[in-house]
Structure 1
Amino acid sequence: MAPAQQARIGQGCMTIQIIRPADRQAWLAARQQDVTASVAAAVLGAHLYTTPYALWAEKTGRLSPDDEETEAMERGNLMEPVVVAMIRKRFPEWLVTYENDRAYFRDPDRRIGATPDAFIVRADRAGTGNCQIKTCSEDAFKQFWLDPDTDEVVPPTWIAVQAITEAQLTGCAWACVALVVITWRGTFQLHIIDIPIHLRLWNRLVTKVDEFWAMVASGEEPSPDWQRDGDVVTDVYRDSMPERRDLSADRELDMLIHQYNRARVEAAGAKAVVDQLRPHIIHSLGNAEIGLTANWEVSARTTFRSGSQSRVLRVKPRRDPNASF
């Protein structure tokens, strides 16, 4: 890893380290010591994909390391130069700086970091702006970015927090998101969304990050979100030890175990019923792929996998039970 450069940047004259990693592994190592902009909204409970518990598990090393580049990450990395080219083509009067060097900006005191994508100078905005580059599918755009009432493009909260964090750590006067939507036709739609830098939000984020690191130092942990953190919890406690724990005083746990056991028994019974009814239905279909009853449409098409074949049974209500066959 290259030695860190020091700079006085942003609100409150933060001392910022600028690390220029030699490779992806060095970049990942630099990020591990901080709450990074891409997941910063998690400490506010406002991140779509990361919870406070998952962030705690990652930063304390309890979560199994996953340094593999996902398909979404690969798409984003490959599309960055394309998005930059689109910005320069659409707005030739803008000065766009794009290094693509994974330069990592961090506040070592607050332990907040960011890897900015690009910087823009525009005649209609004072100073340099931070530009966060994003790509998404048309379905994701409609679901997460488009306001259904006004048809305005509104970035998800976690992305707005990311852009504000990057602007603060890089000393930028303003921030924006350059979003490219990949349509079902294979075309690209570019949206430039300005992100107001709300200092109250930034100050709240800084406070929450301080509280997060204080919790980590104390050995405490946040409460899991049981709707979202199930896989993280089982990963954190993936290794068993030869010991016995007395949990007899935990009445709530005793009730949870009762609910779990009842659900498990009911699920096993339901599976037995399903396994019995499935061949009955296929027998009535014979070799036909689709059958219609008074209220149901049934399909059982043959599929071939790993040298074997089977019929996949699917059922759905008939749209018009009174229609003719």
Structure 2
Amino acid sequence: MNREQWLAERRHGVGGSDAAAALGLSPYKSTYALWAEKTGEVEAEDIDHVERVHFGRIMEDIIAREYARRMGVKVRRRNEILRHPKYPWMLANVDRIIEGQKRGLECKNVDAMAFRMGEWGEPGSDEVPEDYLLQCQHYMIVLDYPEWHLSACVGGNRLELFIIRRDPELAEMIIDGERDFWQRVERHDAPELDYSRPDTRQLLAKLYPGTDGTEVAFDDDIEHWHRVKEQASALTKQYSDVADAARNHILAALGNATFGRLADGSGYRRKTITRKAYEVEAATYVDCRHVKAKD
């Protein structure tokens, strides 16, 4: 199938990269956003043009070949979307399968700084970011494999191997959670929207992309959130003004100096930066702001 067909097929179930979002554990996508994509409420974001994703796809083949060389095994693609025989909502589009073994391979291109941020443990362990762990466990459930390897290229010049073994209790949690999520998709029953997530505003822009000329009367609940927004905005401006004043004190003390040092050894550096002119492409978006009542 071509990419358009593949994307369409992915709408008919939960894939490995969807597992964390379906369970409400993804730092990148909310359960509501995934539900909206699967039900067709919004178009799934095409991230192929994102440079990080593009290079991740390029690096996949390099990582797989180097893994095979180091491990002395043969790996092959499964150019199809696999479906669990008992749980048809569970899909898998895996990176590689190790020939002659019940073992799969997930290839990740990892930024060196992200690797040092604490979500990664010692190579050889299963200490990987939670969304990657759930992805590999999901694949093991679909293929009925006892083990999955995650090979991470760190900073473009180091390959580290993590070994993830099937966890029966975690597998049961994944199956139950994904079943609940998929039943919501089938019933067109939206999960609760997490308003505090940083990606919620982007999701709302997709759900409501235009204006229709109508007017709605807000209830007491929205009146409350209006007051919260106004108070928070006032506090934000107040603290922003304080921060600006503090910065002006520092700039005045620096004068024309290049560097001003604090007692702890840190300090403030001044340097001249020239920014080239550029053109901004035309864009259409929906602006939402509070307007005062007319007299």
Name the structure 2 match of 1:82. Answer: 62
Give the conservation status (yes or no) of the 8 Å contact 2:98–2:105: yes
Name the structure 1 match of 2:130. Answer: 157
Are 1:129 and 2:103 counterparts?
A: yes
Give the conservation status (yes or no) of the 8 Å contact 1:292–1:298: yes
Name the structure 2 match of 1:66. Answer: 45
2-side partners of 1:225 and 1:42: how far apart?
12
Where does the alignment leave 5 or more consecutive residues of structure 2 unmatched?
279-295
1:238 alignment partner, SS class: coil
Give the conservation status (yes or no) of the 8 Å contact 1:291–1:299: yes
1-side partners of 2:124 and 2:175: how far apart?
32
- Please give the residue correspondences for 1:105-116 in structure 2 after superposition, counting only pairs within 5 Å: 105-107=82-84, 110-116=88-94
Name the structure 2 match of 1:142. Answer: 116
Shift, 1:87, TM fit = 1.9
Shift, 1:261, TM fit = 0.6
Are 1:220 and 2:166 counterparts?
A: no
Name the structure 2 match of 1:18. Answer: none
Larger Rg: 1
1-side partners of 2:133 and 2:66: how far apart?
21
Shift, 1:24, TM fit = 2.2
1:211 alignment partner, SS class: helix
Are 1:301 and 2:271 counterparts?
A: yes
Q: How many residues align?
A: 273
CA RMSD of aligned residues (A): 3.2
Question: For each residue in 1:101-152, what CA deviation from the matched residue of structure 2 results, as whole angstroms up to 9, or x when unmatched?
Answer: 6421134963221111111146xxxx5212222221232223254348x995
Give the conservation status (yes or no) of the 8 Å contact 1:76–1:135: yes
Shift, 1:274, TM fit = 5.7
Give the conservation status (yes or no) of the 8 Å contact 2:126–2:164: no
The alpha-carbon distance between structure 1 residues 26 and 219, as it changes in their structure 2 partners (threshold 3 A), is closer
2-side partners of 1:102 and 1:35: how far apart?
17
- Please give the residue correspondences for 1:173-322 in structure 2 after superposition, counting only pairs within 5 Å: 173-183=145-155, 186-191=156-161, 193-228=162-197, 229-235=199-205, 236-250=207-221, 253-271=222-240, 282-292=251-261, 297-307=267-277
> Taking every aligned residue pair, what percent have the same amino acid on both sides?
23
Question: For each residue in 1:136-181, what CA deviation from the matched residue of structure 2 results, as whole angstroms up to 9, or x when unmatched?
Answer: 1232223254348x9955123322221222233234x323123223
1-side partners of 2:99 and 2:115: how far apart?
27
Are 1:98 and 2:76 counterparts?
A: yes
Structure 1 length-normalised TM: 0.71
1-side partners of 2:262 and 2:177: how far apart?
58
Shift, 1:260, TM fit = 0.7
Structure 2 letter corresponding to 1:105: L
Shift, 1:231, TM fit = 2.9
Could you tell me which of 10, 14, 28 is aligned with 1:49? 28
Where does the alignment leave 5 or more consecutive residues of structure 1 unmatched?
1-20, 309-325
The alpha-carbon distance between structure 1 residues 282 and 41, as it changes in their structure 2 partners (threshold 3 A), is closer
Name the structure 2 match of 1:35. Answer: 14
Structure 2 length-normalised TM: 0.77
Name the structure 1 match of 2:289. Answer: none
1:62 alignment partner, SS class: coil
Give 1 or 2: higher strand fraction. Answer: 1
The alpha-carbon distance between structure 1 residues 132 and 60, as it changes in their structure 2 partners (threshold 3 A), is same
